[in-house]
Amino acid sequence: MRWEFDNTRPVYIQLCEQFTNAIISGALLPGEKLMSVRDLAKEAGVNPNTMQKALSELERSGLLYTQRTAGRFITENKEKIKEIKQETARLRVLQFLNEMAQLGINSQEIEELLSHMKKEES
Amino acid sequence: MTPILTCEHLTKTYGVFRALDDVSFTIEPGKIVGLLGENGAGKSTLLKILAGMLTKTSGRAQIDGNEPGVLTKSYVSYLPDKSYLNDWMKLSDLFTLFSGFFADFDIQKAKEMAKNLGLSEKTRLKAMSKGMQEKVHLILTMSRHAKLYLLDEPIGGVDPAARDYILDTILTNFSEDASILISTHMIADVEQILDEAIFLKQGKLILHAPVDELRETHHQSVDALFREVYRS
């Protein structure tokens, strides 16, 4: 995985986001085994404690699970992944709508813009 | 968890000048802590006292239950701000020297790091560039299996590629119950690997907090926060 960080926000939150993106986009597959905390921390260039914190957070949200001796895996619960994918998409759209509102563009204008762009693409 | 390092009201004065002024904090095992501050803030003074190279004026410091001294030197690995090595020595001589001095020196690890950093064991220190000499010091310091690492400006003179390797080395080569106290000006370069930051200003500790907490409350990088704190 490629990691990028913005130092103005907590690193563990950004790790969570990037793992979540990788899982919902399919870059990390359901049931896939993760590297050890240390190796992941090294790959991302972050502190192992921070990586540990992010992984615990993702376990709490149900995207990862730990098998005591075998290691840490991506959840096999596809429903869960789909749910989080939709929730993430919803949040991004909300953010987009907010930005458009700030530009003074209403929902009708957005729809026009979208259909116009679709035509251009095809 | 029992702290690996405890400082209570640690003070160092030179005549009327207070180089270190009533500094109290603790560090738990497994943490990487950044010691940040402008020139003359007391960073090197603090590290020297903890390394047992300088006597405090008052207060108390305990490293794994002992005052800095002969005993703590066996489990504290210190990287000083200036070279203290004889420059006629080759890297291989230094490895032998360190093996004799420190029971926890891992010569295999040192050899491997030297290889990865492109250093020949046959080169004399004298013939190396400043950056290469810094790498040598870091190899010697990080090849010990210490409980506490005190690193005084470890990445000042090395190139960006070596800096990445050094930060990698720091991340992978300390054990889970060891801690690292690292002083630096180059906050942007190290802030991703830090657990906590300590800000020193004119000998006083003005802030000690987990770095992610700082980002959460101030919505800015530790680097930006540092600039703000030291401007006022």
Q: Most A CBs within 10 Å: which of B166, B192, B228, as the mutation test of the A interface? A: B192
Average pLDDT over residues B66-80: 94
Average pLDDT over residues A11-38: 93
Asked whether the beta carbons of B207 and B24 are under 8 A apart, the reply is no
- pLDDT computed for residue B135 by the predictor: 87
Chain A, window 64-103: residues with a beta carbon less than 8 angstroms from a chain B beta carbon: none
pLDDT digits (tens, 9 = 90+) for B151-166: 998 877 777 877 887 8
Please report, rounded to a whole number, the percentage of residues in chain B having pLDDT higher than 90.
Answer: 66
Residues with Cβ within 8 Å of residue B180, at least 6 apart in sequence: B31, B32, B33, B148, B149, B151, B170, B174
Distance between CA A36 and CA B121 in Å, rounded? 33
Closest CA to B51 of B36, B63, B34: B63
pLDDT digits (tens, 9 = 90+) for B115-136: 988 899 999 999 998 888 888 9
Give the confidence band of A107 by pLDDT, cuts at 50, 70, 90.
Answer: confident
Distance between CA B143 and CA B153 in Å, rounded? 17
Is the CB of residue A12 less than 8 Å away from at least one CB of chain B? yes
Which residues of chain A lie closer than 8 angstroms to B188, CB-CB? 7
Q: Does the structure show a pLDDT above 90 at B169?
A: no
Q: Does the structure show a pLDDT above 70 at A61?
A: yes
pLDDT digits (tens, 9 = 90+) for B172-217: 777 778 999 999 888 888 888 899 999 999 999 999 999 999 998 9
3-state secondary structure of B156: coil
Distance between CA B55 and CA A45 in Å, rounded? 36
Strands (E), chain B: 5-14, 17-27, 32-36, 58-63, 76-79, 148-152, 179-184, 196-201, 204-210
Is the CB of residue A51 less than 8 Å away from at least one CB of chain B? no
- pLDDT computed for residue B177 by the predictor: 82
- pLDDT computed for residue B160 by the predictor: 81
Write the CA distances from B132 to B93, B96, B97, B157, B158, integer angstroms. 16, 19, 19, 9, 7
* Structural domain spans, chain A: 11-76, 79-121
Strands (E), chain A: 64-67, 71-74
Phi, psi of B26 (to 5 degrees): -130, 155
Closest CA to A54 of B170, B212, B181: B212
Distance between CA A110 and CA A91 in Å, rounded? 17
- pLDDT computed for residue B207 by the predictor: 93
- pLDDT computed for residue B97 by the predictor: 95
Give the confidence band of B232 by pLDDT, cuts at 50, 70, 90.
Answer: low
d(CA B16, nearest CA chain A) in Å: 39
Distance between CA B169 and CA B152 in Å, rounded? 16
Domains of chain B: 5-231 (3.40.50.300)
Average pLDDT, chain B: 91
Residue A58, exposed/middle/buried by CB under 10 A (0-12, 13-18, 19+)?
buried
Q: Does the structure show a pLDDT above 80 at A70?
A: yes
- pLDDT computed for residue B144 by the predictor: 94
- pLDDT computed for residue B45 by the predictor: 95
Distance between CA A19 and CA A63 in Å, rounded? 9
Fold of A11-76: Arc Repressor Mutant, subunit A (1.10.10)
Spell out a b/e string for B27-48, using b for 16 or more CB atoms within 10 Å of the CB, else e.
bebbbbbbbbbeeebbbbbbbb
Distance between CA B33 and CA B191 in Å, rounded? 10
Output the six-digit token pair for B112.
């491997």
Cα A70 versus chain centre, distance: 25
The interface pTM score, or ipTM, of the predicted complex is: 0.71
Q: Does the structure show a pLDDT above 70 at A2?
A: yes
